[in-house]
Amino acid sequence: METNNELLIMDLIEITRVNLNQLEKLNLLNTDKLNFKENSEKWSILECIAHLNIYGDFYLPEIENSIKQSESYKEPFKPGVLGNYFVKLIQPKEELNIMKTLKKFDPIGSELDSNILLDFKEQQIKMLDLLKKALNVNLTKSKTSVSISKMIKLRLGDTLRFVVYHNQRHLNQANNIVKTFK
């Protein structure tokens, strides 16, 4: 199904702005709450955000390179089969499906402090800038590698959707932890 580039990007910008607002609320929590875990198998708020930072460290340069190499050409975005599959898998839902992450993306047991939140904020500001630049590129023909294999390429539009929805998903997870404090 084709999607208007501008509508897609504006939606992703809005989600990213909401993510930044949620992050500001998390920033008000003390270190004990940021590191609180229901049990040893679950992530703390900081582990949720550290996980997102690991992904951002990979995807933000991929997105930036793709935008720089892209032709300035507008046509409706057409999701790819694999990209759409990944997006639907990660997209936030009312009842989240529990997913196991690869070990290299799992921050569980790491020693973390609130600087993790600052790093994520910087990544989100960078993402907003990249989304604005993506308004003028071909989201279907431009490609990025994926974190699990440089051999697999996704359409830039699918990568943008995946990263933004992935951020939203784990910020929702962090906010669900906050709800246990009340």
Q: Give per-residue pLDDT as tens, 35-79.
A: 998 888 888 999 999 999 999 999 999 999 999 998 777 788 999
Interior angle at CA 1, CA 11 and CA 158, nearest 5: 55
Q: Mean pLDDT throughout 147-157?
A: 84
pLDDT at 180: 87
152 — pLDDT class (breaks 50, 70, 90)? confident
91 — pLDDT class (breaks 50, 70, 90)? confident
Nearest 10 degrees: CA dihedral of 16, 22, 23, 24? 120
> Residue 181's closest CA among 25, 16, 15?
25
The fold of 5-179 is Four Helix Bundle (Hemerythrin (Met), subunit A) (1.20.120)
Mean model confidence pLDDT for the chain = 88
pLDDT at 86: 87
Res. 148: pLDDT tops 80: no
Res. 106: pLDDT tops 80: no
pLDDT at 154: 93
Q: Is 39 exposed, middle or buried (0-12, 13-18, 19+ CB in 10 A)?
A: exposed
Q: pLDDT digits over 9-22, tens only?
A: 999 999 999 999 99
Please, which residues have CB within 8 angstroms of residue 123's CB and are 6 or more apart in sequence?
52, 53, 56, 60
